[in-house]
Structure 1
Amino acid sequence: MKKKILSAVLAAALAVGAFAGCGAAKGKDSKSDGTNARTTLKVAASATPHAEILEHVKSELAKEGVDLQVKEFSDYVQPNNVVESGDFDANYFQHVVYLDNFNQEKGTHLVDAGKIHYEPFGIYAGTKKQLSELTEGDTIAVPNDTTNEARALLLLQEQGLITLKEGAGIKATVQDITANPKNLKIQELEAAQVSRVKGEVAFVVLNGNYAKQAGLDPSKDPIAVEKNDGEAAKNYVNVIAVKDGRQNDEAIQKLVKILKSDETKKWITEKYGQSVIPYAGQ
């Protein structure tokens, strides 16, 4: 009987020791609070070039313990809504001016966590090939969201097609046009729809990412583009946006650091040429 009791005690001790050993092994793959050491980062993005750039840095970010999940969106509203709601950790699709305007209009609390790249706006051929071919009453399609419409109108002004009210700047709308020698019709459309009417209008004014989605080459196809060393680059740099309070999260900072690395900048330049320009500032 004593031998049986002793055997039972030894078996129990071995079982406890084995259980404790399993717990110690688990701790090597976990944080001190018992949670998994790896972090999942969900980012909403436009397809081109944003999602493509994010896909490129996935493996490098994984080495830093961050599993990047990218979901593509085709509009300019939902990517901000899902970050505001907390369903996503960040988004990558918009420039600073649009972000600020969205916050003002929607009451959201999104902030710039890192400035990544700049995409020159361009005028692309529709039914006509050169601006010199424009005639009385021709139509030019532009994005209808506040900031991108202003950007398109400023570019049309740079080309001498219209004149805007002094000081209209990045808040310009069609109501600010003070001179329109050819009585051009400005067709305002949701940004993703502009390229789809290029067979119906004289010209379209597009963001670089939507131009690429339409099969156009923003480095070769535009009739005219913004200057890449002017105010546009400062106002329209594309950013990683997060809900206020999360800009210093470790995973977010790791993502921004890799996106701004020399290796990523080189990859962006080689892949996109002058259509997507890495931001040089901080």
Structure 2
Amino acid sequence: MKKWVLSSLIILIIAALAACGGGNKEAAGSKGEKAEGLLDDGKLTVGVTAGPHEQVLEKVKELAAKQDLDIEVKVFTDYIMPNIALDEKELDLNLFQTIPYLEQFNKDRDMDLVEVGKALTFPMGIYSSKVKDVKDLPKGAKIGLPNDPTNGGRALVLFESAGLIKLKEGSGTAPTVKDVEENENDYELVELEASQLPRQLEELDAAAINTNFAIEHGLKPAKDSIFIESSDSPWVNVAAARPESKDDEAIQKFWDVYRSDEVKQYIDETFEGSVIPSW
């Protein structure tokens, strides 16, 4: 009886030690796999906004597959969630934003997302279903602009370039409506969520609309805008990642495909100048 009890205790001790050893091995293995890079699940998950970014990424996905790089595309309809999803590790990379927007987002949300490289330039345009020229906008006209700080500031700079308003000296690339120094025609500046502006265009006299949202609603920036940013616009869209993964081999491989001659040709042929490769 004593021998049976002793044998049982020995077996239990050995089993316990094996379980502990197995648990440590598994934990170490998981940690090692994480250190290997972003392709632990076999895919690089990239977030984009709907429209041109999505179209370009689908082309990149097609080309990347030939180089054994599997890309999972996640599409967003706003400018908030792609960065939140990236910060929360639901994405490995995103492409949709300008550097000023990324910097402001990091500041406002206490994040540290970083630029990986320059991608596309989407010249912002002023659109109207009522007039064909900005000079024809009547006094008191309702003019829409995005309500987020970066795109709203960009729109105000565009309005100044179009001769609609004058901003305070030194207001830079991120002015607010409070920085409007002159508004001789008493235009009513209506701030709305960027994606809603095309839908509200009929209710407004004009609106500054980001290219991706314009194209999504059937507008052709180079043809349909009544005023558009110049080619030297500082608002280039960039790819962003978390700082610990920005130099990951998978991202570098993705980036090589993205900035290839095949993708550049696709952009030029598809968007006819409304979207500009910035590399």
Same fold (TM over 0.5): yes
Alignment of 1:265-280 (within 5 A): 265-280=264-279
Distance verdict in 2 for CA 1:192–1:37, change over 3 Å: closer
- Aligned residues with identical type, % of pairs: 40
The AA in structure 1 aligned to 2:44 is L
- Kindly provide the CA deviation profile for residues 183-241 of structure 1, in whole angstroms up to 9, marking residues without a partner as x: 0000001100111111011101111101001110112111111111x2x2xx3111111
Shift of 1:38: 8.1
The AA in structure 1 aligned to 2:203 is E
| Counterpart position of 1:153 | 156
Alignment of 1:168-179 (within 5 A): 168-179=171-182
Alignment of 1:113-192 (within 5 A): 113-192=116-195
Alignment of 1:196-235 (within 5 A): 196-228=199-231, 230=232, 232=233, 235=234
Indicate the SS of the match to 1:269: helix
Q: Distance in 1 between matches of 2:256 and 2:105?
A: 25
- Tell me whether 1:56 sits opposite 2:55 in the alignment: no
Q: Distance in 1 between matches of 2:245 and 2:88?
A: 13
Shift of 1:268: 0.4
| Counterpart position of 1:260 | 259
Alignment of 1:84-123 (within 5 A): 84-123=87-126
Q: Is the 8 A contact 1:92 1:241 kept in 2?
A: yes
Shift of 1:169: 1.6
Shift of 1:128: 2.8
Q: Structure 2: state its 5+ residue gaps.
A: 1-35
Indicate the SS of the match to 1:126: coil
Q: Distance in 2 between matches of 1:175 and 1:100?
A: 21
Q: Displaced runs of 4+ in structure 1, greater than 2 A?
A: 36-39, 126-130
- Kindly provide the CA deviation profile for residues 115-144 of structure 1, in whole angstroms up to 9, marking residues without a partner as x: 111010101113333222222211100011
| Counterpart position of 2:42 | 39
- Kindly provide the CA deviation profile for residues 136-164 of structure 1, in whole angstroms up to 9, marking residues without a partner as x: 21110001111111111111101111000
- Kindly provide the CA deviation profile for residues 164-195 of structure 1, in whole angstroms up to 9, marking residues without a partner as x: 00011211010000000100000001100111
| Counterpart position of 1:249 | 248
Q: Is the 8 A contact 1:240 1:256 kept in 2?
A: no
Aligned length: 242
Q: Distance in 1 between matches of 2:236 and 2:260?
A: 16
RMSD of aligned Cα (Å): 1.5
Indicate the SS of the match to 1:132: helix
The AA in structure 2 aligned to 1:116 is A
Shift of 1:37: 8.8
Give the counterpart of 2:84 among 67, 81, 85.
81
Of stretches 38-47 and 87-96 in structure 1, the one that deviates more from structure 2 is: 38-47
Q: Distance in 2 between matches of 1:237 and 1:53?
A: 15
Q: Structure 1: state its 5+ residue gaps.
A: 1-32
